[in-house]
């Protein structure tokens, strides 16, 4: 069996596909992956023996500027990604038995699967974007909902209208070009009635959260056995466990002056500091030997050896820190991150730092709350509940889909 996997988004949208590739390979299936042409994503997929088929612009070119992308940027990006999916996926889908899409709303993927007559799956890594009676939709470029509107059914209908405005014209134009009829609700067309949720049930309970027939597989985790760099090993061995601070792919979204604030707050706790450089470019503020800066490393090996993890609340980082039993301080920036922060706080394994700009005082207070034996004990208990077989579960479901087609 041959499976086509596609995404467009940050590392957190690409790495789970690497885990799914391994799950498929264990069952004897072959995978193709269409993803953004960022160098680090190509290296990531190379580690699991799959070449990256470039799709659309690099993510860095879109999000790594001095300021976050604007609504006008989104209005240009959306149709460009639709066109890229029709072009790239049409070529890549030849000979494939099933197509799975995730990441930034993958308008165009289902339509290519329809053209080839193969099953299509939409997968997500959180429930934040799925229509729900329990929470309102997140922000999306376009005409905002009227101030004071609280009816969630109305808010989700208006969210669908914004999606149509972003993607509808381009999608239906490309559908017409291959002889397919137009769709009138792009969001629901992309999601289907049975989306898959690739998230752990302990961290992301989903029962009753949406009226869609959700299939929760568990998180797609890529086992990582890479050794830590020698210099990092020496730093870890030279003293007490440090506090890790990293904001992943946030780039312009990272809190202002976060490296200085974090260093001062962590030192106030009498702890050493480990900064993850990431796309935000976190760097040492002085030459003191209590602070070390790392690039991309094996977080599965690193997080069990730190005192706490301060991060943005991406699905992947939250899951990895939780699996490691590391207490967390989450300073959410965008999208699903506030929900992960709230869940970590609810489980008692960390603190949600919702103030948009952490200060030395606020971050120090959050660290005081998590750097306790009680929080670490709860974090260890939750770690034991997190399943690691999500990629295998999803791979078997894809096999079943292909056989039934």
- Beta strands of 112-232 (E only): which ranges? 120-124, 196-197, 215-216
Q: Are 122 and 106 in contact (CB under 8 A)?
A: yes
Q: Looking at the structure, do residues 372 and 290 belong to the same domain, yes or no?
A: yes
Q: Looking at the structure, do residues 159 and 48 belong to the same domain, yes or no?
A: yes
Q: Is 348 exposed, middle or buried (0-12, 13-18, 19+ CB in 10 A)?
A: middle
- The pLDDT, as a whole number, for residue 281 is 92
Cα angle: 255, vertex 259, 263; to 5 degrees = 130
With a cut of 80, say whether residue 340 has pLDDT above it.
Answer: yes
Q: Looking at the structure, do residues 198 and 248 belong to the same domain, yes or no?
A: no
Handedness of CA 275, 279, 283, 289 (dihedral sign): positive
Q: Looking at the structure, do residues 305 and 394 belong to the same domain, yes or no?
A: no
Q: Looking at the structure, do residues 217 and 236 belong to the same domain, yes or no?
A: no
Higher confidence at residue 283 or residue 64?
283
Q: Looking at the structure, do residues 31 and 126 belong to the same domain, yes or no?
A: yes
In percent, how much of the chain has pLDDT > 70? Answer: 100
Q: Looking at the structure, do residues 143 and 279 belong to the same domain, yes or no?
A: no
Q: Looking at the structure, do residues 196 and 240 belong to the same domain, yes or no?
A: no
- The pLDDT, as a whole number, for residue 158 is 97
Mean predicted confidence (pLDDT) in 49-71: 90
Q: Looking at the structure, do residues 146 and 183 belong to the same domain, yes or no?
A: yes
Q: Write the pLDDT tens digit of every residue in 236-284.
A: 999 999 999 999 888 878 888 999 999 999 999 999 999 999 988 999 9
- The pLDDT, as a whole number, for residue 316 is 95
Lowest mean pLDDT among 114-118, 212-216, 245-249: 245-249
Range of the domain at 97: 2-221+388-404
CATH number at residue 288: 3.40.50.2000
Q: Looking at the structure, do residues 260 and 355 belong to the same domain, yes or no?
A: yes
- The pLDDT, as a whole number, for residue 48 is 96
Task: Say if pTM beats, i.e. exceeds, 0.85.
Answer: yes
Mean predicted confidence (pLDDT) in 213-232: 97
Q: Write the pLDDT tens digit of every residue in 133-191.
A: 998 998 899 999 998 999 999 999 999 999 999 999 999 999 999 999 999 999 999 99
Split into its structural domains, the chain has a count of 2
SS3 content of the chain, % helix, strand, coil (to 5): 45, 10, 45
Neighbours of 311 (CB within 10 A): 29
Q: Looking at the structure, do residues 328 and 201 belong to the same domain, yes or no?
A: no
Q: Looking at the structure, do residues 212 and 340 belong to the same domain, yes or no?
A: no
Question: What is the per-residue DSSP string for 319-360?
Answer: HHHHHHT--EEE---STTHHHHHHHHHHHTSEEE--SSS--H
């Amino acid at each position: 069996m041959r499976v086509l996997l596609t995404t467009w988004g940050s590392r957190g949208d690409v790495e789970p596909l690497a885990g799914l590739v391994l799950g498929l390979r264990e069952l004897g299936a072959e995978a193709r992956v269409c993803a953004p042409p960022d160098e680090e994503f190509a290296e990531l997929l190379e580690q699991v023996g799959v070449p990256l088929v470039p799709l659309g612009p690099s993510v860095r070119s879109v999000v790594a500027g001095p300021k976050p992308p604007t609504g006008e940027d989104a209005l240009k990006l959306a149709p460009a990604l639709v066109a890229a999916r029709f072009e790239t996926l049409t070529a890549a889908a030849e000979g494939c038995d099933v197509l799975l899409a995730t990441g930034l709303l993958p308008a165009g993927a289902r339509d290519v699967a329809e053209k080839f007559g193969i099953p299509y799956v939409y997968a997500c890594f959180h429930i934040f974007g799925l229509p729900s009676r329990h929470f309102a939709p997140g922000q999306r470029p376009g005409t905002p909902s009227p101030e004071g509107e609280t009816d969630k059914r109305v808010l989700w209908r208006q969210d669908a209208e914004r999606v149509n405005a972003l993607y509808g014209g381009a999608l239906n134009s490309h559908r017409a070009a291959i002889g397919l009829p137009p769709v009138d609700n792009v969001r629901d067309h992309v999601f289907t009635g049975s989306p898959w949720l690739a998230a752990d049930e302990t961290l992301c309970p989903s029962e009753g959260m949406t009226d869609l027939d959700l299939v929760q597989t568990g998180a797609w985790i890529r086992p990582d056995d890479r050794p830590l760099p020698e210099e990092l090993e020496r730093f870890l061995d030279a003293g007490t466990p440090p506090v890790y601070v990293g904001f992943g792919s946030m780039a312009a979204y990272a809190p202002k002056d976060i490296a200085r604030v974090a260093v001062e707050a962590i030192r106030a706790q009498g702890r050493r500091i480990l900064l993850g450089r990431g796309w935000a470019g976190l760097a040492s503020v002085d030459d003191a030997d209590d602070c070390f800066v790392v690039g991309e490393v094996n977080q599965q090996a690193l997080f069990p050896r730190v005192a706490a993890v301060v991060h943005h609340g991406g699905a992947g980082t939250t899951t990895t820190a939780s699996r490691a039993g590391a207490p967390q301080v989450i300073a959410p920036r965008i999208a699903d991150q506030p929900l992960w922060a709230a869940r970590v706080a609810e489980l008692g394994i960390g603190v949600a730092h919702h103030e948009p700009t952490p200060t030395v005082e606020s971050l120090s207070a959050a660290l005081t709350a998590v750097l306790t034996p009680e929080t670490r004990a709860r974090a260890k208990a939750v770690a034991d509940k997190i399943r690691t077989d999500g990629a295998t579960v999803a791979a078997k479901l894809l096999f079943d889909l292909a056989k039934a087609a």
